[in-house]
Chains A and B, each alone.
Chain A
Amino acid sequence: MTNAEDHILVRRALQADPESFGQLCRRYYPSLVAVADSVLLDHHLAEDAAQEALAHACRQLPRLRKPERFGPWVAAICRNVAKDMLRDRHRQRVPPEDCEAQERDRPDSGQTEMLAEALHRLPQHLREVVYLRFYNEMSYQQMAGVIGASQESIDGRLRRAKKIIAAFMRAKGFEP
């Protein structure tokens, strides 16, 4: 995954080549689902948000000033779409039943629930880094292509997130 390729694909997509946009979608869709899931904490809704974000990105594509930064740009759109969906869900007061169902299925549910709570309490920008890293086992380089930050910064965020999670679990009597 290189920025130069993104740049070329964006240019082709603007010249009536839908397949190029399709390639960009396939490239970033898993990361977008992870980004949206870190906001919504619901995998199915996250898939919806990622698809919606790609539709937004498609409409806004001619306005993208730096095509080589398509990844961070579409991730920012996805974050906003997910936040809008979360607000709508809060207004409708829909409980995140999907997550609860998933937790119940696991054998070591006490520890898993604690981990889920620790993740839920993380600041969103740290939770996003954790999700990107562990969702699809992304490398720092791939994460940098989505977040638009340096690999050092991503490493720092990830370490901070893990420190917070470990401290929370210790405070609740679980050794990580």
Chain B
Amino acid sequence: MNRKDDIDRLDEMLAKHLRREPTPFDFEQWAHRFPEDAKLLRSGFPRAAVNRRTQLVQIGRCIMTSRYTRLVGVAAVVLVAISFLFPGRNGIVPESVAWADVQNAVEKAMEQTHNARVTGTRNCFFSKDETPTYKLGLEKLFSLSYGYVDRTFTEDGRLIIEFAYDLRTGTVTILFPTYKRYYRTQMPQEFHEKARQVTPEKFFEWLFASGDFRKIEPREIQGVQAVGFEVSDLPERFTGSGGFSRKLVDFFLSFGESNTRMWVNPKTRLPIQVEAEGEIKPCLLTSYQEMRLREIDDRWEFDVELDGAQFLPAIPVDYQELTLPIALKAQTALYAARMGSIAPVLLAVGCLQRRRNRTPAAAS
């Protein structure tokens, strides 16, 4: 049976398995179930805001006309101010989410399967234009038992690069499906031992709280009034604490200014979106061109089931090994692992760039 028949049969099976009659929506029933929201709709939203303002004015008047209520009112204002200054777990406003709460929530969310999956987009800009030169999709898998996988896709879903670090064996594998090439190496023992001891809490602490970070104004993200944390020296943390030669780092991947923001749901204390934007100076992985990278990780799933085989992927038989000078091998692996999600995309972009640069020459 050919491939098209297979897909047609799979379509039939999926339709049979999932098909449901469209569920009619009963607005009256919904309004009955959510009376406050229905009331909001009936009254009109601007009027509701005015009502709240009127109520506040009335409360203010009441406070200022009585000596006791004035004292109680002042005490309440002081308490609110303190809750802003010393945020705690049970704060009354979103701003009261502290970084430690996020670390704890992530640790707790991963306590059953020790896995997480993140998906999003990576846009690469090779000009000042607001339209990205390359729009890429991404998928990252984190597992305390198995390691780390980072996949980069083209906009139409084709896998262009896969980076995998297997925590059990210390093996780093990079697959380039477009070129049918692969690179595989062992991580130095010392780094491998350190990596095995990393917990989500430690990773998040290193990522944000190991240097300066600041809280930013809450913003609506995916329908949630999210709390934001920002760091502007994330690449420095990768290179600074890694003990790598600066020359080597700049040769492969030379970072300019960058900004990383993490948006957290104040209710669950879990990240819902991470945005990173930064300049990459001319280096090997950008084909010696300036580049701007904008990454948005907007889907976070914790405690997911992951297949351990993905972290040490089988090399397809028709793939050729990519050779690097021996002296660079160990440092490259170490560096790629340190760079985590950033290195694979730059490798991918480097490949795309080289391919694009080569095309006109080949044609002529």
Interface of A toward B, CB cutoff 8 Å:
13-19, 21-22, 25-26, 29-30, 33, 43, 47, 51, 54-63, 65, 73-74, 76-77, 79-80, 83-84, 87, 90, 111-112, 115-116, 119-121, 123-125, 130-131, 133-137, 150, 152-153, 155-157, 159-160, 162, 165-166, 175-176
Contact A116 B45 (CB under 8 A): no
B residues 42-69 touching A (CB-CB < 8 Å):
42-47, 49
Cα–Cα distance between A115 and B19 once the two chains are bound (Å): 14
Complex interface: chain B residues within 8 A of A90 (CB): 112, 303
Q: What residues of chain A lie closer than 8 Å to B17, measured between beta carbons?
A: 112, 115-116, 119, 134
Which residues from chain A contact B299 at a C-beta distance below 8 Å? Answer: 79, 124-125
| Residues in B neighbouring A55, C-beta threshold 8 A | 30, 33-34, 37
- What is the distance, in angstroms, from B220's C-beta to the closest C-beta of chain A? 5
- A–B Cβ pairs within 8 angstroms, 8 of them: A16-B41, A26-B25, A29-B25, A54-B30, A76-B223, A80-B265, A156-B158, A176-B10
Q: Size range of the interface on B?
A: 35 or more
Measured CB to CB, the closest approach of chain A to B70, in angstroms, equals 33
CB nearest to B301 among chain A residues:
A124
Taking a contact as CB atoms under 8 Å apart, the answer to whether B7 and A153 are in contact is no
Tell me the bound Cα distance from A83 to B117 in angstroms: 13
Q: Which of B5-30 contact A (CB under 8 A)?
A: 6-7, 9-11, 13-15, 17-20, 22-25, 27, 30
Chief secondary structure at chain A's binding surface: helix
What CA separation (Å) do A77 and B265 show in the bound complex?
12
- Decide yes or no: A16 and B42 within 8 Å by CB, A111-B13, A124-B117, A130-B18 being known contacts: yes
Report yes or no: B19 in contact with A137, Cβ–Cβ below 8 A.
yes
Of the listed stretches B91-99, B149-157, B346-354, chain A binds: B149-157
Chain A residues contacting B27 (CB-CB under 8 Å) are 18-19, 22, 25-26
CB pair B157–A157 under 8 Å, yes or no, is yes
Is the C-beta of B127 less than 8 angstroms from some C-beta in chain A?
no
**Nearest residue, chain A, Cβ from B222:** A76
Q: Which residue of B lies closest to A47 (CB)?
A: B23
User: For the complex, what is the distance from the CA of A77 to the CA of B37, rounded to whole Å?
Assistant: 16
Does B305 belong to the interface (CB within 8 Å)?
Answer: yes
State whether B117 touches A80 (Cβ < 8 A): no
Tell me the bound Cα distance from A166 to B37 in angstroms: 44
Smallest beta-carbon distance A114→chain B, Å: 10
- In the docked arrangement, what's the CA distance between A30 and B303, Å? 27
- Contact between A80 and B222, CB atoms less than 8 A apart: yes
Q: A58 near B220 (CB under 8 angstroms)?
A: no
Pick from B20, B33, B157: contact of A135, CB below 8 A.
B20
Beta-carbon contact of B223 and A87 below 8 Å = no
